[in-house]
Amino acid sequence: MADAYVAIEGDRVIEARARAPGTARGELVFTTAYTGYEESLTDPSYEEQVLTFSYPLIGNYGVREERFESDRVHPRAAVAREMTDDVAEWLESEGVPAVDHLDTRDIVTEIRDEGAMKCGIAAGPDVTEQDALDELHECKHMSDHTDIGAQVSVDEVTVHNEGGDGATVALVDCGAKGSITESLVERDAEVHVFPYDASEDDVAAIDPDLLFISNGPGDPENFEQAGELVETYVGDVPLAGICLGQQVVANALGGETEKMEFGHRGVNQPVRDLRSNQVVMTTQNHGYTVADPGDKLDVTQVNVNDDTPEGLENDDLNIITRQYHPEANPGPHDSLGFFDDVLGMAGE
């Protein structure tokens, strides 16, 4: 007998098995990644989402803290065909509901046909279908989480590799994955991680060689202050961005973003560089995209599957952004050179 329920738009309820108890709601999305569940479940970009794994077995190599991208689990709930005890116990200890023993192919097909959608989850011995439906009916659209940055950002500036020989980087934390800071520190940068709503004065105080806007959850239009920093510094300081960072930079420089049908989430998204014609495999996790880069940014890389912009650049203004995750945690290492390129703009 079912002891868990997933309610999706249209009030359809899918029966499942409870693996970690509780109720939750969020935007239902899927990732096709077959590895990297530790990184995905701790990626702040998944805040306010319910993550479905299309790969059928999740947890087969355990749970190791050194793989975590932040200090907590960010999806509101996790859905898998089969989840190991290691992962279930971890999610339970974090208070994040999890379910398995349901047809995840069905859920993925539904999302592909209808787009990312609201969902409600109820798991545990005492829950009912109605509990899942109640959660669904309380669920907000992603764009209505207008202060989502506050849920994921640092509260105050933290400095990594103080006194490092390399560039001084102002990293605006809109929900940054830890491995972005690590990738910069490995290259000798001194990284100052700023809250998502840092002011121009805060950033000016460190006289940065590079302004870097991180990845993060939700709608990029809800990160206005980061956009203002981009407007302030463009032309004076080199700019870099990853994922939400690319979207924020584009919006600030006269471009536009829009919501995709079901987004790109996985570890084998092919990207073509339009200058070298080289194709690289990338890790991705996004539901918005740059619809119009504006007139300051050139689209230099595109997704091979759907032609959406994967890289924006301006050689004169020293701007490089990527829609995918070059820090590659999890994922193929094809695009790690991004960090050398952006630090190169900063004079390293």
Q: Is 45 marked as binding a ligand?
A: yes
Of 141-180, which residues contact ligand GLN (CB under 6 A)? Answer: none
Q: Closer CB to ligand GLN, residue 120 or residue 287? A: 287
Paired strand residues for 239: 211, 319
C-alpha distance across the termini of the chain, in Å: 61
Q: Which of 22, 97, 195, 218 binds ligand GLN (CB under 6 A)?
A: 218
- Quote the least distance from Cβ 21 to ligand GLN, whole Å: 28
Cβ atoms 96, 75 nearer than 8 A: yes
Q: Contact between 288 and ligand GLN (CB under 6 A)?
A: yes
Q: Is the peptide bond before 309 cis (omega within 30 degrees of 0)?
A: no
- Quote the least distance from Cβ 188 to ligand GLN, whole Å: 25
Which residues have a Cβ under 8 Å from the Cβ of 38 and sit 6 or more positions away?
63, 64, 67, 68
Q: Is 62 marked as binding a ligand?
A: no
Task: Give the pair of three-digit tokens for residue 247.
Answer: 């979207």
Stretch that binds ligand GLN, among 228-236, 270-278, 279-287, 331-339 (CB under 6 A): 279-287
Cβ burial 218-236 (10 Å sphere, 16+ → b, else e)? bbbebbebbbbbbebbbee
Q: Closer CB to ligand GLN, residue 190 or residue 327? A: 327
Q: Which of 149, 216, 227, 309 binds ligand GLN (CB under 6 A)?
A: 216
Catalytic residue among 145, 192, 286, 325: 325
- Quote the least distance from Cβ 335 to ligand GLN, whole Å: 14
Cβ atoms 175, 203 nearer than 8 A: no
Catalytic residue among 174, 192, 243, 264: 243
* Angstrom distance (rounded) from CA 64 to CA 68: 7
Residues in binding site for L-glutamine: 45, 216, 218, 244, 247, 285, 287-288
| Residues assigned a catalytic role | 243, 325, 327
